[in-house]
Structure 1
Amino acid sequence: MTESHVRLRPFKNGDLTHITQWFDGRVGTFASGVTHNPTVDELAPSVAEGRDARIVETDNNEIVGVVSWSKLSYDGNFLVGIALAPEHVGTGYGALSLEQVLAFLFDQMRAHRLEFRTAGYNHHVLGMMTTGFITIEGILRDHLYVDGKFEVLVIGSILEHEYRAQIAAGKVLPVSHFNEEDRRKSAKSLHRILNSDRVPKSW
């Protein structure tokens, strides 16, 4: 893997056509345990809303993956999915994508609980899920059927306070969408304006 960082961005025209090619075969089976290759028409409606999926790209504008999320039982409870381009599976971009989507959902979408699911044979995702900051909640036996065999589905989750604890411990890097220096300058400017003669003090 290169030293390039990754970021999330909304979908653009042409992204779906590019991404649907990933799900043919190995990546699709690893992602969901289903070998069905989704079409642009199937994915377009949800992506068009712009609320439940983001492209993962490097600083060099290379698309390396896609993250998605869907609401579960209540506001703030999301099922999260991550898929990488075939050439980037097992390179470390999955962990960087996970870091980005955790920050986005906890810091921007006010998430409380994020759930992850993966097939028992997906050692790439299982590796991320067993590093210590995601709690394995259970295993669904014979939940998937691939290549003539039944496979288990592993379910894990992370809660917001657990995510904050991981940041405090330095195990997960925080993702800031605003420059802290800009924040300080803005606060200073606002303080100066509010204490100027141009602002009435009657309130």
Structure 2
Amino acid sequence: MIRVLVADDEPLIRAGIRMILTSADDIDVVAEARDGREAVETARATAVDVALLDIQMPVMDGLTALAEMGRAAPGVRVLILTTFGERENVLRALGHGGAGFLLKDSAPQELIHAVRAAAAGNAYLSPAATRHVVDTLVSPAATARGEEARRRLAGLTERERQVLALLGEGLSNADAGARLHMSEATVKTYVSRILTKLDCDNRVQAALLARDAGLEPTGG
């Protein structure tokens, strides 16, 4: 059972999210919070697998809570759920180690899928959030980012580059393994090595590096 914490300052929003998530047989909303500080304290004191955080909350906003939660409850996977999809918010969330980012107008099944992906250790970006990230790739800073990303990827083996390219496409370990004719456990080992070599906190950061570097999937 996936144990979820929902943090939003609006009771109706929390109730709606709870109703959606608990409709899935494998998800249970075990705690709620009204602000970022309460979310951090709850995550520290409660057995939680995934936390859903709104950005705009009193006392402490969701992005600050995300960073705090990484220190207070490092085992919790955090999804940012908000009406605000500005690319700065998306990149800040990912930079703080968030497991994903989706908008409040996402379909119920997308929310459930995102929670499952986060609990499995995978990243999730909603299509709308992905567009904001892609926008940054054509900004004036894109060239410098690309050069830095390619420099960091230079130390990877060919197989590691193949795995990383599939992370950049958002594939799970199982899907990447199927594409490369490897077991899921083997892919997981490669991902761990890649994160260590690239000094990335999570697979989302590694995926963004792959995109910045223009890394394209090759065959199995």
Name the structure where strand makes up a greater proportion of residues. 1
Q: Is the structural similarity TM-score above 0.5? A: no
Interval containing the TM-score (normalised by the shorter chain): 0.3 to 0.5
Larger radius of gyration: 1
Query: Given the two structures, how large is their TM-score scaled by the length of structure 1?
Result: 0.32
